[in-house]
Amino acid sequence: MIGSPRVHHRLTDSTNERAKQLAEAGAPHGTLVTADEQSAGRGRQGRVWTAPPRSAVLMSLVLRELDERLPLTAAVSVCEALPVPAAIKWPNDVWIGRRKVAGILVEGRPQEGWAVLGIGLNVLVERADFPPELRETATSLQIEGGVSSGGECAASPVEQVLAALLDSLDRWLSARPNLVLEAWRSRDALKGERVRWSSGEGLADGIDDSGALLVETRNGPVTLDAGEVHLLR
């Protein structure tokens, strides 16, 4: 079972940074680093990732069984762990109703046999907690009605979501690649939508078996295997 051993920080710079350090020191497959709060949380494309203390799942896993589709598998795992319907914006943003609820950052040294899978998932974040520029595009489980009052469960909502996420990751990390691709495709938020990227624009047409995004443009089909695309709303 992944998630053990677990190191929890009340405050750290970045759980990905801590997990990378542990991986370099020989930590086993499945080692989990979590935090209540990060002072230098990292996002994709050099962005920062912020969340108020104890309001988000902030986790990084050391993985030693590598698979190039890890970013896709992680996105499917997050969707499957959520109590409300979610979709995936290529390559691995998790959306509820076209707003981002979770982000995934995979970093690693394949030549040294490890990767770090970092996930930030907004659980109790309130709309006013998001910086103004993110208020229309970000969301949380709380905002989307996906946090129950807890009842008799002693664990905090963030811990409950973490437990569901680890369970889901455990199942999907060992799933057959065709099942992961099928699950990803069934949650594709961009399929048939107009998208733009740094050098073009077109209609998103799903992913190929390597996870690259297929786009139909005026000049013919284009395959994007990295980078960022934006939905033209």
By CB under 6 A, which span of 44-52, 164-172, 179-187, 224-232 interacts with ligand BTN?
44-52
Written as one letter, the residue type at 18 is R
Identify which of residues 164 and 203 has a Cβ nearer to ligand BTN in the complex: 164
Q: Is 166 in the site for ligand BTN (CB under 6 A)?
A: no
Calpha distance 182→190 (Å, rounded): 15
Residue 157 in the binding site for ligand BTN (CB under 6 A): no
Q: How many C-beta atoms surround the C-beta of residue 84 within 10 A?
A: 13
Question: Is residue 60 close enough to count as binding ligand BTN by CB under 6 A?
Answer: yes
Q: Indicate the residue among 94 and 143 with the shorter CB distance to ligand BTN.
A: 94
Q: Does 229 bind ligand BTN (CB under 6 A)?
A: no
Question: C-beta of 218: minimal distance to ligand BTN in Å?
Answer: 30
- Identify which range of 34-42, 61-69, 124-132, 159-167 contacts ligand BTN by CB under 6 A: 34-42
Give whichever of 16 and 160 is closer to ligand BTN, judged by the CB atom.
Answer: 16
Give the span between the Cα atoms of 17 and 145, in whole angstroms.
32
Q: Which stretch binds ligand BTN (CB under 6 A): 57-65, 81-89, 167-175, 210-218?
A: 57-65
The interface with ligand BTN within residues 97-156 (CB under 6 A) comprises: 103-105, 118-120
SS3 track for the chain: CCCCCEEEEEEECCHHHHHHHHHHCCCCCCCEEEEEEECCCECHHHCECCCCCCCEEEEEEEECCCCCCHHHHHHHHHHHHCCCCCEEECCCEEEECCEEEEEEEEEEEHHHCEEEEEEEEECCCCHHHCCHHHCCCECCCCCCCCCCCCCCCCCCHHHHHHHHHHHHHHHHHCCCHHHHHHHHHHCECCCCCEEEECCEEEEEEEECCCCCEEEEECCEEEEECCCCCEECC
CA 109 to mean position of chain CA atoms: 19
Q: Quick check: 44 binds ligand BTN (CB under 6 A)?
A: yes
Given the rule CB under 6 A, which of 36-44, 74-82, 159-167, 204-212 is the region that contacts ligand BTN?
36-44
Name the residue nearer to ligand BTN (CB basis): 48 or 84.
48
12 binds ligand BTN (CB under 6 A): no
By DSSP bridging, strand 32-38 and strand 6-12 are parallel
41 scored as a contact of ligand BTN (CB under 6 A): yes
Q: Are 197 and 223 in contact (CB under 8 A)?
A: no
Q: For residues 57 and 173, which CB has a smaller minimum distance to ligand BTN in the complex?
A: 57
When binding is defined by CB under 6 A, the residue of 47, 109, 127, 171 that contacts ligand BTN is: 47
Chain residues binding ligand BTN by CB under 6 A are 14-16, 38, 41-44, 47, 49, 58-60, 93, 103-105, 118-120
